[in-house]
């Protein structure tokens, strides 16, 4: 089920100056995007036995031909037995998957876009016994779920080291496959994020709540891929359905976290928020989370959150949303004042692969808006 809005409604909200700003190429720590639009990572669980299906390259390339500069793939599982919760999540260590990813990369490049692979470990959210490999316990720093309940055994130091090595292996393979960089999924209550958050990490060893786990992953990755391979790091305050969660209570807390990650080799940050324009720390001014990230680190930053939809992401309507003729001049304004460099789009691009070209062109055809039925009809699920 799709509906449409006249393109003139969209174009009329965007000034020529804003179009020029959003159309500019940008360097994201050695990763070049031809404009300021990225496709956000959206897991579709349609990869049988972990191998992306035929047509995955075209799926991403269609968005590039529709105006997107940078593709961030759906989450790709690192080679750890409990990294995922579905046999239909894509992997990278399997030779057949690698061949498919090579095809994906080549197809995106031939269409003029850049593409990075998002590396993913689901951690405690894998859950059991009704998920992939139910006989295996999910990985977690302290065996504590997002509700603060002790449900599993903590990871041993040996297992933590194994998982760190798995990330490094995945990054090496991604580089060999031809990706332009990687993104580490350190957000939304998945494994890396669980090590950040004091609710899910009560350890007292070197992997206590804070950046150390992520820092050691970054160090291991740099040892495999060198200093020139771009690394994006995605993080968030909120966790799955825990929308009030915080890993940083103040800008100072955030600086301690991000400075450690930057020193370990992050080239670009991707703070995930539900609404990109909201103040991250209201007691400390109006800067967004992306704005604080860029201010505190000086590194390129990708913002995301409710661009191109008219129903904001929330616990009650996790799949809801449709294209709104919103004021994209505000996005350009945030870029000009230095809060972020690129805006990532999610559901809008699922609905309409030509979204970017349409909103940048007054003569474009009608824009298709998102609704959840189109995802359910395709047998896909978003995370």
Q: Is residue 333 part of a domain?
A: yes
Say which residue the tokens 């860029």 belong to: 294
Catalytic residue among 167, 190, 235, 383: 190
User: According to the model, what pLDDT value does residue 134 have?
Assistant: 85
Single out the residue of 175, 163, 137, 139 nearest to residue 79, CA to CA: 163
Does a structural domain hold residue 364? yes
Element (H, E) at 33: strand 32-33
Report the alpha-carbon distance of residue 198 to residue 161 in Å, rounded: 20
Low-confidence ranges of the chain (pLDDT < 50): 1-12, 313-326, 377, 379-383
382 lies in some domain: no
Residue 220 structural domain: 4-377
Please say if 190 is a catalytic residue. yes
Which of 174, 144, 156 minimizes the C-alpha distance to 79? 174
pTM over 0.85: yes
d(CA 196, CA 189): 9
Let me know if residue 8 belongs to a domain: yes
Q: What is the pLDDT of residues 345-372, one digit of tens each?
A: 998 899 889 999 988 886 555 777 776 6
Give 235's DSSP letter. E
Q: Supply the CATH number for residue 230's domain.
A: 3.20.20.70
Residue 383 lies in a domain: no
Q: Is residue 17 part of a domain?
A: yes
Q: What is the pLDDT of residues 255-272, one digit of tens each?
A: 999 999 999 999 999 999
What tokens appear for 173 in the block?
């393979």
Cα 357 from Cα 68, distance rounded (Å): 8
φ/ψ region of 67 (left if φ > 0, alpha if ψ in -120 to 50, else beta) reads left
At 231, phi and psi to the nearest 5? -125, 120
Number of domains in the chain: 1
Question: Residue 325's pLDDT is what?
Answer: 35
């Amino acid at each position: 089920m799709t509906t449409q809005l006249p393109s003139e409604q969209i174009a009329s909200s965007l000034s020529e100056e804003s179009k020029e700003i959003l159309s500019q190429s940008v360097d994201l720590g050695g990763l070049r995007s031809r404009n300021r639009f990225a496709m956000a990572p959206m897991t579709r669980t349609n990869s049988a036995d972990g191998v992306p299906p035929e047509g995955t390259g075209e799926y991403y390339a269609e968005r590039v031909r529709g105006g997107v500069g940078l593709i961030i793939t759906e989450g790709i599982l690192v080679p750890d037995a409990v990294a995922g919760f579905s046999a239909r999540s894509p992997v990278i260590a399997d030779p057949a998957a690698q061949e498919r990813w090579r095809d994906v990369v080549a197809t995106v490049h031939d269409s003029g876009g850049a593409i990075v692979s998002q590396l993913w470990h689901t951690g405690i959210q894998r859950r059991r016994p009704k998920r992939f490999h139910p006989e295996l316990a999910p990985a977690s720093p302290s065996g504590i779920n997002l509700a603060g309940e002790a449900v599993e055994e903590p990871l041993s130091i040996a297992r933590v080291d194994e998982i760190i090595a798995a990330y490094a292996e995945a990054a090496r393979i991604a580089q060999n496959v031809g990706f332009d960089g990687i993104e580490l999924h350190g957000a939304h209550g998945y494994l890396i994020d669980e090590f950040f958050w004091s609710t899910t990490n009560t350890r007292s060893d070197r992997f206590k709540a804070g950046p150390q786990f992520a820092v050691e992953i970054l160090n291991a990755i740099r040892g495999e891929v060198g200093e020139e391979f771009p690394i994006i790091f995605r993080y968030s305050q909120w966790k799955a359905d825990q929308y009030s969660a915080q890993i940083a209570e103040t800008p100072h807390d955030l600086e301690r976290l991000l400075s450690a990650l930057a020193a370990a080799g992050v080239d670009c940050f991707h703070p995930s928020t539900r609404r990109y324009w909201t103040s991250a720390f209201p007691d400390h001014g109006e800067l967004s989370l992306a704005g604080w990230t860029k201010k505190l680190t000086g590194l390129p930053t990708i913002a995301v959150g409710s661009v191109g939809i008219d129903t904001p992401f929330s616990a009650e309507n996790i799949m809801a949303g449709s294209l709104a003729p919103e004021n994209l001049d505000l996005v350009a304004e945030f870029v000009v004042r230095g809060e972020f460099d690129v805006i990532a789009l999610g559901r809008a691009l699922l609905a309409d692969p030509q979204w970017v070209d349409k909103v940048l062109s007054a003569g474009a055809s009608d824009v298709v808006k998102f609704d959840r039925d189109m995802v359910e009809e395709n047998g896909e699920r978003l995370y």
